[in-house]
Amino acid sequence: MSSAAVDAKEWTNCSTCSLPGTAKWNHKWHSALRWKFSGADAMIITNDGSKVGVNRRRLAAQSPFFNAVFFGGFSESPKRAVRLPSISYDRLYEALYVMEKLDILGSDFVFNISLTKTLQIYETANFLAIDKVSEWLADLAIKLMVPEELINTFRRVEYRCPPFASRLHTLIVHNFDRIYYNQTFLMLKEAELVGFLKNHRLNLTPKQEKTMVEEFLVYHPEEENQVLQAMRQETLKRTDEWGYLGRPRTPNKVLITFGGWSTGGPSAAVEAFDIVACLTRPAPTTPLSASTAPSSPSAASTASTTSPPCAGSTLTR
């Protein structure tokens, strides 16, 4: 089966539906629906009074929230109309639309929407406990994520969805060099910044750490920042070059290169290139020739790169 891409226009252009009812469901309810999903035998009323036709059993199978709404108390509820005063029509329709498409197309479902829209639908699906939709949208959000939105997105889901927040936290740690360059670290609280500085996988050089802390303290002069000030003083007392962690940080990814060509011929030089930090980690070399000149496997793997990453580029996962 080929992938089925769905354009945003298809699901945003919703008109009032007037369809015949079933034997069990009053025809007046059908004619009053703004939208009707397949197999509808009940309706959900949103905060603006719009009515959406849904299939109770299908929703109950997908969501413990709707299972409790329609079939609470281990018996079928006689009510076929449920009011959700905190949910708008657009948000409900979008979440149920994704659910229906996933049921029909499965892994072939491709949704062409922005990161902002993805997060909006995700929040609704997560609130309504439609787990399959939430997980699918979380995966999509990770694919669409850009450095400029990492911290904001993490804040939005930190307490409401810990699994998604954990994935975003890992992205932040692995891409902190980009957060450093786009200055969004200034949005962090002191405790959050301290936590990242203590993470041994934080992708920053000691020089970048020092600059970042200085800028953070200048940007937040009204805050006491006692913990950060204490860490800064302790770091200044040390003579090593390991920054705020006090020891080398663990690279997130490395590319091992060996062999090369020195001025005296081939060598067995070994170098580890940290892809994330764009830094070469030289290893002791053993030239095969009598020459002691350093080898140069390739210009890309031996030159330290300190230029800022491109904004909006693919994140390191």
Taking phi first (over 0 means left), then psi (-120 to 50 degrees means alpha), and beta for anything else, what does residue 265 get? left
Whether residues 140 and 154 fall in one domain: no
Burial class (CB in 10 A: 0-12, 13-18, 19+), 193: buried
| Domain assignment of residue 159, yes or no | yes
Whether residues 132 and 178 fall in one domain: no
242: pLDDT strictly greater than 50: yes
Asked which of 120, 144, 168 is the last residue of a domain, the reply is 144
8: pLDDT strictly greater than 60: no
| Domain assignment of residue 219, yes or no | yes
Buried b (16+ CB within 10 A) or exposed e, 253-279: eeeebeebebeeeebebbbbbbebbbe
Q: Mean pLDDT throughout 33-39?
A: 84
Whether residues 178 and 265 fall in one domain: no
Query: Would you say the pTM of this structure is higher than 0.85?
Result: no
* Per-residue pLDDT at 281: 58
The pLDDT tens digits for 213-231 are 999 999 988 788 888 988 8
Asked which of 96, 126, 144 is the last residue of a domain, the reply is 144
Of 19-23, 87-91, 113-117, the poorest mean pLDDT is in: 19-23
In this prediction, what percent of the chain has a pLDDT beyond 70? 68
The pLDDT tens digits for 145-192 are 999 999 999 999 999 899 999 999 999 999 999 999 999 999 999 999
Whether residues 183 and 276 fall in one domain: no
* Per-residue pLDDT at 190: 92
19: pLDDT strictly greater than 60: no
Query: Which residues touch 94 (CB under 8 Å, ≥6 apart)?
Result: 11, 117, 120, 121, 124
CA end-to-end span of the chain: 29
Whether residues 213 and 180 fall in one domain: yes
| Domain assignment of residue 279, yes or no | yes
Q: Mean pLDDT throughout 225-241?
A: 84
Whether residues 124 and 207 fall in one domain: no
Whether residues 219 and 266 fall in one domain: no
Q: What is the mean pLDDT of the chain?
A: 77
How many domains does the chain contain in total? 3
Range of the domain at 290: 254-302
| Domain assignment of residue 43, yes or no | yes
